[in-house]
C-alpha cells in the first residue's frame, strides 16, 4: 500500500507533469471507484490543473480556469485514495480517448479504474490489482467535503512535534502500532512505515499508548521524523512506476520476516492477524522476548 512518502512523491511527480495541462477526457472504467455523482466527472473536462495537494495518503488534483497554476484557483478537485492495491500509471502518450466514430474508449481491459487525458496527449490510468476494490475517486468542490479527509489527524512530515504526537497517541489507550496507523490521529502512516518507525524507536508494537512516558514519545517522534524524512527523500523525484519498489528496498523490518535485523542481526519476527501482519525485531524492540503470535500458537496447539 502506498503511504505518505510514496503518495507525496507521486503528488510531486503529478504536479510537475500536469501544471497548466487541460483535461480533455475522463472515463471511469470501474464504476464502483467513483464515490461521488455531483459534480459529475465530466465537469473536470475543459479545466486546467491548478495544483496537486496531498492530505495524508490522499491526493487532490485541483482543477480551475485554464492557465492558472495556483491551488487556490481550483474550482473542483479530483481526489484520489489508492487504498491497498491501487496505483497511478502515468503515460506520456495515452491511447485515443474516443474511437474514430466518437465513441468513448474508457472501458479499458484489466485493472484500470479510471483514465484521464490531458491536452498534450499525456494522461494517467488509475489501476487497482486484486479482487477487493477499494480505490476511491471523489469529485468535490472542496476536499474537506470527504469525511475521511476532514477527519485526518496531523501530518507527521509537515506538522511534526513530540507534543502533537503525544497528544494524538494518548487520546485513547491502545497499542501504539494501531495508533500510528490510525489516520484520524496521524495522517499518512500505514502498516509498513509503522513497523519501521517502531523498530527505529526500539519500541514494542504492543506498547499501550497511555503507558508512554515523555521520553518514549520524544524517541518515537524522532523515529517518525527519521523514517519518514528518509523515505520521502528516497521517493522524491522518482517516476511513478519506480515508487513501489523504492519503498521495499529501504525497509529494515517490514516485509523482511526471517531475514536478519540490519541493526543487531537477530532474525526479524512476525505477528500475523486475519488480514495483515507486522514485523519486528525482538532484540531491538521487546527485550529479546518474542511477541505472541495467535496464528502460530493455534497452528502449534
Ligand atoms: Zn534488531
pLDDT digits (tens, 9 = 90+) for 137-166: 999 999 999 999 999 999 999 999 999 999
Q: Given the C-alpha cell 519486528, which residue does it identify?
A: 280
- Res 239: pLDDT: 77
- Res 101: pLDDT: 63
Catalytic residue from among 54, 57, 115, 269: 57
pLDDT one-digit tens code per residue, 42-53: 999 999 999 999
Q: Given the C-alpha cell 487541460, which residue does it identify?
A: 22
Average model confidence (pLDDT) across the chain: 91
109-128 in b/e form (b: 16+ CB < 10 A) is eebbbbbbbbeeebbbbbbb
84 is annotated as an active-site residue: no
Q: How far is the CA of 283 from the centre of ligand 1 (A)?
A: 5
Region at 274 (left for phi over 0; alpha for psi -120 to 50; beta for the rest): alpha
Q: Given the C-alpha cell 490531458, which residue does it identify?
A: 118
Q: How far is the CA of 7 from the centre of ligand 1 (A)?
A: 28
- All residues at 6 or more sequence positions from 227 whose CB lies less than 8 Å from its CB, including other chains: 193, 196, 197, 200
pLDDT one-digit tens code per residue, 237-294: 887 777 776 677 789 999 999 999 999 999 999 999 888 899 999 999 999 999 988 6
Pairing of strands 136-140, 76-81: antiparallel
- Res 301: pLDDT: 47
The correct answer on CATH 1.10.287.70 for the domain covering 162-300 is no
Q: How far is the CA of 206 from the centre of ligand 1 (A)?
A: 17
Compute the average pLDDT of residues 172-177: 96
Which residues is 270 bridged to in the sheet?
A: 279
Q: How far is the CA of 266 from the centre of ligand 1 (A)?
A: 5
Nearest to 269 by CA among 140, 188, 284: 284
Catalytic residue from among 107, 158, 248, 276: 276
In percent, the amount of the chain with pLDDT more than 70 equals: 93
Same fold, 4-150 and 162-300: no
Q: How far is the CA of 228 from the centre of ligand 1 (A)?
A: 19
Q: How far is the CA of 4 from the centre of ligand 1 (A)?
A: 25
Examine the pLDDT at 169 and tell me if it is beyond 50. yes
2 is annotated as an active-site residue: yes
244 is annotated as an active-site residue: no
Domain boundaries, the chain: 4-150, 162-300
Rounded CA separation 86/29 (Å) = 14
Examine the pLDDT at 177 and tell me if it is beyond 90. yes
pLDDT one-digit tens code per residue, 67-102: 888 889 999 999 999 998 899 999 999 988 776 666
Rounded CA separation 92/106 (Å) = 17
In percent, the amount of the chain with pLDDT more than 90 equals: 76
Q: How far is the CA of 199 from the centre of ligand 1 (A)?
A: 8
Which residues is 139 bridged to in the sheet?
A: 78
Rounded CA separation 266/269 (Å) = 9
196 is annotated as an active-site residue: no
Backbone angles phi, psi at 41, to 5 degrees: -55, -35
The correct answer on CATH 3.90.650.10 for the domain covering 4-150 is no
Amino acid at each position: 500500500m502506498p503511504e505518505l512518502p510514496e503518495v507525496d512523491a507521486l503528488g510531486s511527480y503529478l504536479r510537475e507533469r500536469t501544471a497548466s495541462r487541460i483535461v480533455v477526457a475522463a472515463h471511469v472504467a470501474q464504476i464502483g471507484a467513483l464515490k461521488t455523482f455531483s459534480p459529475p466527472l465530466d465537469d473536470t473536462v475543459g479545466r486546467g490543473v491548478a495544483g496537486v495537494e496531498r492530505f495524508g495518503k490522499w491526493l487532490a488534483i485541483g482543477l480551475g480556469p485554464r492557465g492558472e497554476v495556483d491551488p487556490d484557483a481550483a474550482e473542483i478537485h479530483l481526489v484520489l485514495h489508492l487504498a491497498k492495491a491501487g496505483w497511478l500509471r502515468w503515460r506520456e502518450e495515452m491511447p485515443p480517448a474516443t474511437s474514430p466514430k466518437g465513441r468513448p474508449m474508457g472501458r479499458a481491459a484489466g485493472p484500470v479504474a479510471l483514465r484521464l487525458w490531458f491536452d498534450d496527449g499525456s494522461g494517467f490510468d488509475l489501476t487497482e490489482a486484486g479482487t477487493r476494490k477499494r480505490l476511491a475517486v471523489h469529485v468535490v468542490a472542496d476536499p474537506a467535503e470527504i469525511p475521511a479527509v476532514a477527519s485526518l489527524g496531523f501530518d507527521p512530515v509537515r506538522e511534526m512535534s513530540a507534543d502533537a504526537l503525544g497528544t494524538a497517541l494518548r487520546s485513547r489507550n491502545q497499542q501504539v502500532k494501531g495508533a500510528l496507523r490510525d489516520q484520524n490521529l496521524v495522517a499518512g502512516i500505514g502498516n509498513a512505515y509503522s513497523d519501521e518507525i517502531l523498530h527505529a524507536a526500539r519500541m514494542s508494537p504492543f506498547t499501550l499508548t497511555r503507558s508512554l512516558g515523555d521520553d518514549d514519545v520524544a524517541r518515537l517522534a524522532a523515529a517518525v521524523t527519521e523514517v519518514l524524512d528518509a523515505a520521502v527523500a528516497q521517493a522524491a523525484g522518482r517516476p511513478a512506476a519506480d515508487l513501489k519498489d523504492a519503498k521495499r528496498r529501504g525497509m529494515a523490518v517490514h516485509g523482511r520476516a526471517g531475514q536478519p535485523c540490519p541493526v543487531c542481526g537477530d532474525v526479524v519476527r512476525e505477528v500475523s492477524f486475519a488480514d495483515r501482519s507486522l514485523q519486528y525485531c525482538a532484540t531491538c524492540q521487546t527485550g529479546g522476548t518474542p511477541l505472541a503470535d495467535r496464528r502460530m500458537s493455534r497452528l502449534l496447539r
